[in-house]
Amino acid sequence: MKAMPPALLVSIPASNYVEKARWALQLAEIPFEEEKHIALLAYRSTMPKGGKSVPLLKTSSFVLTDSSDILQYCAQKLPSLYPNDEAKKLELYYDTELGPHLRRFTYYMVFKDTAAAKRVLLQPLDSWFEFLLAWLLFPLIKFLICQGMLIDEENAMKSWAKAVTVLEEQEAKLGDGPVGSQYLAGPTFSAADISFCAHMSLIVHPPEHKYISPYVTDDNIPPELRERVHKLRQSKLGQYVSWGYENHRPDMMVTIPKK
């Protein structure tokens, strides 16, 4: 019997929402190939497949165009992703109240160092053509990303403040025990934990995240922002993200060679 082809995940590699979907697919042991693009140029792949943004998951029978829908699909094989209603509620809360703000702040932070921004956004790309095009057009791509996501100093600082407010509300969920002794939404490492850790990976830079850690170091963080980033990493929530990556982050991805 001929084996089913793996699903195709269209991605922007360092995207926190892509990382959320990628993590769930790997945890559920659903084989997939990843097609990696830079922001804006990803539309060349997503729109013909019936979507717009990433992550987009295309299988032989359907297309999913949202990270939460991809996690629901993964839950068919891994029901522990949703042990209760709270897991779904928190997943969506982190997606709307935490993810966008950490993303805006991170873009602002990384764009301060053009060389680091090019590394994290361009080096993982599959296509040499897209890599060269994005390299040549990088100033324009950076400008359009900043325009589209309202990325400037004022908005980045507002987003940081909103993210910190959300995080201050969440720390109690981990209890008073050692890091890892309690999950965010019940008895299992759930969709809530994946969502939270994926969004926080933009700041924590866990070594297991192959599309952030190899390309961005603390030296690339502007000095005026370094202290707040380090403080967040050292908090119990930051430690929980590191623990989650160390203990619950598998790696079974098939990649498409550059062409």
The mean per-residue pLDDT over the stretch 14-35 comes to 97
Band the pLDDT of 3: cuts 50, 70, 90. Answer: low
Whether residue 60 sits in one domain with residue 126: no
The answer on 109 and 37 residing in a single domain is no
pLDDT surpasses 80 at 235:
yes
- Any domain includes 1: no
Confidence of residue 6 (pLDDT cuts 50, 70, 90): confident
Q: What is the total count of domains within the chain? A: 2
Residue, of 142 and 3, whose pLDDT is higher: 142
Give CA 97 to chain center in angstroms: 14
pLDDT at 251: 77
Q: Quote the pTM value.
A: 0.94
Q: Which DSSP string corresponds to the chain?
A: -PPPPPEEEEE-TT-HHHHHHHHHHHHTT--EEEEE--TTTTHHHHGGGT--SS-EEE-SS-EE-SHHHHHHHHHTT-GGG-SSHHHHHHHHHHHHHTHHHHHHHHHHHHHTSHHHHHHHHHTT-S-HHHHHHHHHTHHHHHHHHHHHHT-SHHHHHHHHHHHHHHHHHHGGGG-SS-TTSS-SSSSS--HHHHHHHHHHHHHH--TT-TTTTTT--GGGS-HHHHHHHHHHHHSHHHHHHHHHHHHH-----EEPPP-
Measure the CA–CA gap between 196 and 203, rounded to whole angstroms.
12
What's the rounded Cα separation, in Å, for the pair 212 and 81? 25
214, 237: one domain: yes
Same domain, yes or no, for 159 and 50?
Answer: no
Position 107 pLDDT exceeds 80: yes
Question: Parallel, antiparallel, or unpaired: how do β-strands 32-36 and 7-11 relate?
Answer: parallel
70 with 176, same domain: the answer is no
Domain around 46: 7-79+251-255
What distances in angstroms separate CA 49 from CA 10, 53, 63, 67, 156, one per listed residue?
A: 10, 11, 8, 16, 32
The verdict on 59 and 157 lying in the same domain is: no
pLDDT of residue 5: 64
Q: Give a yes or no: residue 2 inside a domain.
A: no
Residue 256 has pLDDT above 60, yes or no: no
Mean pLDDT over residues 13-40, rounded?
Answer: 97
